Chain A
Amino acid sequence: MNNKKLLAGLVSLALLLVVPAFLKNYGVYLFTYWAIFVIANMGLNLTVGYAGQKSLGHAAFLGIGAYSVAILMKAGFSFWLGLPVAALGCFVIGLGLGFPALRVQSIYLGFATLGFNTLVWLVMRNEAWLTGGTFGINGIGRPTVFGLDLGRNLPYYYFVLAFALVLAFLLWRLLRSPWGKAFTALRDNPIRAESLGIDIQAYTLLSFAIGAAYAGVAGGLLASLVQFIEPVPFTVGASIMMYLMVVVGGPGYFLGPLLGSAIGVLLPEWLRFAQGWYLFVFGIAVVLLMLWLPDGLLSIPDRIKARRLARDAAAARSAATAKAGA
């Protein structure tokens, strides 16, 4: 089983390394876009999927990260200063957004985070002296790594992919440490968790802060990919879309964001042939998915397993009854 998983992982990695090299520029761009959303949605998956906090403001952190890098680079600072500032800034602001979660939960927390997203968006749109307002900021540069120019899309894709892999490894380590269990305990039953000595306030705040930091890094990478940013990609609508990506992929499944982001980023492109019908198809697909698979696509194997266990148990019962009857 574990060997199978390792093999599947290696094959996927090989595909991610090789396939874009044979794609046209726009295909590479899309893969990069996908990898950036994987990073952001890994963070959201921690907040929403593992720690169980409803956050509908994740795009705000993507935006804060993007604007931090853009503004600092336009001011002449290096990308390598901008990105840590973006991550750290989002961590601190994420910590702040965690505080409402200590008072309210579920849909009410969702509304609070949604309000926060609107506030951030207003700053991006109205504080033109800093953010360029609705015109945004253009001419954002690409970083260089060890003198290597990332101006072309393919090298930049590998650069983003490296970030995604490192951040995925860090998250994987975190979730396997006692912290991972504490987050899950917080999600499943906060009252019991607290009675077992789990500092639910600290873990709630940290789940927001770490999730936000991931979005901050993703935002920084996004600014440098597109080389132009404006407030539109960071609206409440974008936050809802990111939440949807996590839910569709499978919240609380480590690989959920990979699949969810692919559906959220790449599917719209593949459905282009449907033109005006695209949103119609997409909307219906989401409704059906939520009806049949509320735990996301990656819950399918678990469902099959549960069904098989139930069938085996039923077979065992009827066998026992038959024996008793005989």
Chain B
Amino acid sequence: MSEALLKVSGLRKAYGAIQAVDGVSFEVMPGEIFGVIGPNGSGKTTMFNSVLGQITPDGGTIELNGRDITNLSPLQLNRRGVGRTFQTLQVFGKMSVRDNLLVAAQEHRGSMFGRMFAPGDSGLGDAADRLIEQFRIGHVAHKKAGELSYGQQKLVDIAMAFMSEPELVLLDEPCAGVNPSLVGGISSLLKALNRAEASQRKRSSFIVIEHNMDFVMDLCHRILVMVEGKVMAIGTPAEIRANRQVLEAYLGN
């Protein structure tokens, strides 16, 4: 049994009288794609934001590789190898696609003072070009990110999270608003990024929040079902599909 990459224990967060996250515990193994599903308002995003340091949890601990990372800022988490995407598009609209990717990893190179004198691409040009090719956005690489279509921006948005080769990436609804024909493309991209040898990169583990059931069932190794702030079930896609309680509470058909 290998050590968990991420270990969340007894996480709690309340907004006034509403217990948004109520004692959530789970582990993500190295190399795993871990899905999180649940109805709207079940506390998925609050749980996500607690892990990512965007909000301070009321209780519980979060460990990365056995080290406590509870209450670290998003900046510190990024420096420790935790990447993320957001529910809504978050590209830098006035920068070119390539610059978006370069800026996504430059702070991992050298010291702040040293970067003042570093070349504009921080020596990350090849890494950026590889991701651009992998994401098939070469034809728009020099356009401003804000001028692209929604689907293209979504691809840039996801690619940015992988530029610094993070160990763990949290993806908040990577398929939200995306054309159905692109959903399969995103799925195979994430699978490729998860397989280290295929992409010549460090292997990444993911936590994915997504409402598209086919996408989640196809992509994830294990799935956590959250309902009313609590963990209802954790298991493989097959186990979750067969879980009567989950079927009644969420899948509902």
Q: Does A181 contact B (CB under 8 A)?
A: yes
Q: Does A191 contact B (CB under 8 A)?
A: yes
Q: How does the 8 Å CB contact mask read for B194-217 relative to A, with 1 for contact and 0 for none?
A: 000000000000000000000000
Q: Find out whether the CB atom of A177 lies under 8 angstroms from the CB atom of B118.
A: yes
Q: Find out whether the CB atom of A181 lies under 8 angstroms from the CB atom of B106.
A: yes
Which of A6-14, A194-202, A219-227 lies at the interface?
A194-202
Q: Find out whether the CB atom of A179 lies under 8 angstroms from the CB atom of B116.
A: yes
Separation of A192 and B122 alpha carbons in the complex (Å): 19
Separation of A56 and B115 alpha carbons in the complex (Å): 29
Q: Find out whether the CB atom of B84 lies under 8 angstroms from the CB atom of A195.
A: yes
Write out the residue numbers on chain B whose beta carbons fall within 8 Å of the beta carbon of A195: 52, 74-75, 78, 83-84, 86
Q: Does A101 contact B (CB under 8 A)?
A: no
Chain B positions 34-91 with a Cβ under 8 Å from a chain A Cβ: 52, 73-75, 78-79, 83-84, 86, 90-91
Which of A84-92, A123-131, A144-152, A182-190 lies at the interface?
A182-190
Given B95, B104, B115, which contacts A196 in the complex, CB threshold below 8 Å? Answer: B104
Write out the residue numbers on chain A whose beta carbons fall within 8 Å of the beta carbon of B79: 197
Q: How does the 8 Å CB contact mask read for B150-163 relative to A, with 1 for contact and 0 for none?
A: 00000000001001
Given B75, B92, B95, B120, which contacts A197 in the complex, CB threshold below 8 Å? Answer: B75
Separation of A198 and B105 alpha carbons in the complex (Å): 9
Write out the residue numbers on chain A whose beta carbons fall within 8 Å of the beta carbon of B93: 188
Write out the residue numbers on chain B whose beta carbons fall within 8 Å of the beta carbon of A180: 120
Known A-B contacts A178-B122, A198-B107; the reply to A192 vs B116 at CB < 8 A is no
Known A-B contacts A180-B120, A182-B107; the reply to A194 vs B75 at CB < 8 A is yes
Q: Does A81 contact B (CB under 8 A)?
A: no
Q: Find out whether the CB atom of B104 lies under 8 angstroms from the CB atom of A178.
A: no
Q: Find out whether the CB atom of B116 lies under 8 angstroms from the CB atom of A177.
A: yes
Q: Does B193 contact A (CB under 8 A)?
A: no
Q: Find out whether the CB atom of B106 lies under 8 angstroms from the CB atom of A178.
A: yes
Q: Find out whether the CB atom of B118 lies under 8 angstroms from the CB atom of A178.
A: yes
Write out the residue numbers on chain A whose beta carbons fall within 8 Å of the beta carbon of B118: 177-178
Most B Cβ at <10 Å: residue of A176, A178, A179, A252: A178
Separation of A202 and B79 alpha carbons in the complex (Å): 15
Q: Does A267 contact B (CB under 8 A)?
A: no
Q: Find out whether the CB atom of B120 lies under 8 angstroms from the CB atom of A176.
A: yes
Q: Does B103 contact A (CB under 8 A)?
A: yes
Question: CB-nearest residue of chain B relative to A199?
Answer: B75
Write out the residue numbers on chain B whose beta carbons fall within 8 Å of the beta carbon of A177: 115-120
Q: Does B94 contact A (CB under 8 A)?
A: yes
Given B83, B95, B112, which contacts A188 in the complex, CB threshold below 8 Å? Answer: B95
Separation of A179 and B92 alpha carbons in the complex (Å): 15
Separation of A96 and B174 alpha carbons in the complex (Å): 40
Question: CB-nearest residue of chain A relative to B78?
Answer: A197
Write out the residue numbers on chain A whose beta carbons fall within 8 Å of the beta carbon of B94: 184, 188, 252
Chain B's nearest CB lies how many Å from the CB of A268? Answer: 32
Chain A's nearest CB lies how many Å from the CB of B235? Answer: 30
Known A-B contacts A192-B90, A196-B164, A197-B79; the reply to A178 vs B120 at CB < 8 A is yes
Q: Find out whether the CB atom of B84 lies under 8 angstroms from the CB atom of A181.
A: no
Most B Cβ at <10 Å: residue of A176, A181, A199: A181
Write out the residue numbers on chain B whose beta carbons fall within 8 Å of the beta carbon of A198: 75, 103, 107
Chain B's nearest CB lies how many Å from the CB of A193? Answer: 8
Chain A's nearest CB lies how many Å from the CB of B75? Answer: 5
Chain B's nearest CB lies how many Å from the CB of A319? Answer: 19
Q: Find out whether the CB atom of B103 lies under 8 angstroms from the CB atom of A181.
A: yes
Separation of A28 and B120 alpha carbons in the complex (Å): 38
Write out the residue numbers on chain A whose beta carbons fall within 8 Å of the beta carbon of B164: 196-197
Q: Find out whether the CB atom of A174 lies under 8 angstroms from the CB atom of B160.
A: no
Known A-B contacts A181-B95, A196-B78, A197-B164; the reply to A191 vs B90 at CB < 8 A is yes
Q: Find out whether the CB atom of B107 lies under 8 angstroms from the CB atom of A199.
A: yes
Q: Does B167 contact A (CB under 8 A)?
A: no
Write out the residue numbers on chain B whose beta carbons fall within 8 Å of the beta carbon of A192: 86, 90-92
Q: Does B99 contact A (CB under 8 A)?
A: yes
Q: Find out whether the CB atom of B95 lies under 8 angstroms from the CB atom of A185.
A: yes
Separation of A198 and B99 alpha carbons in the complex (Å): 14
Write out the residue numbers on chain B whose beta carbons fall within 8 Å of the beta carbon of A185: 92, 95, 103
Q: Find out whether the CB atom of B116 lies under 8 angstroms from the CB atom of A174.
A: yes
Given contacts A181-B95, A195-B83, 18 further A-B pairs with CB under 8 A are: A176-B120, A177-B118, A177-B120, A178-B120, A179-B116, A181-B99, A181-B102, A182-B103, A184-B92, A191-B90, A192-B86, A192-B91, A192-B92, A196-B160, A197-B105, A197-B107, A199-B112, A309-B147
6 pairs from A and B in contact (CB 8 Å cutoff) = A178-B118, A181-B120, A185-B92, A189-B92, A192-B90, A309-B147
Which residue numbers of A lie inside 8 Å of B, CB to CB?
Answer: 174, 176-182, 184-185, 188-189, 191-200, 202, 252, 309
Which residue numbers of B lie inside 8 Å of A, CB to CB?
Answer: 52, 73-75, 78-79, 83-84, 86, 90-95, 99, 102-109, 112, 115-120, 122, 147, 160, 163-164
A-B pairs, top 9 by smallest CB distance, nearest first, are A197-B78, A197-B107, A192-B90, A181-B103, A178-B106, A188-B92, A178-B115, A196-B104, A195-B74
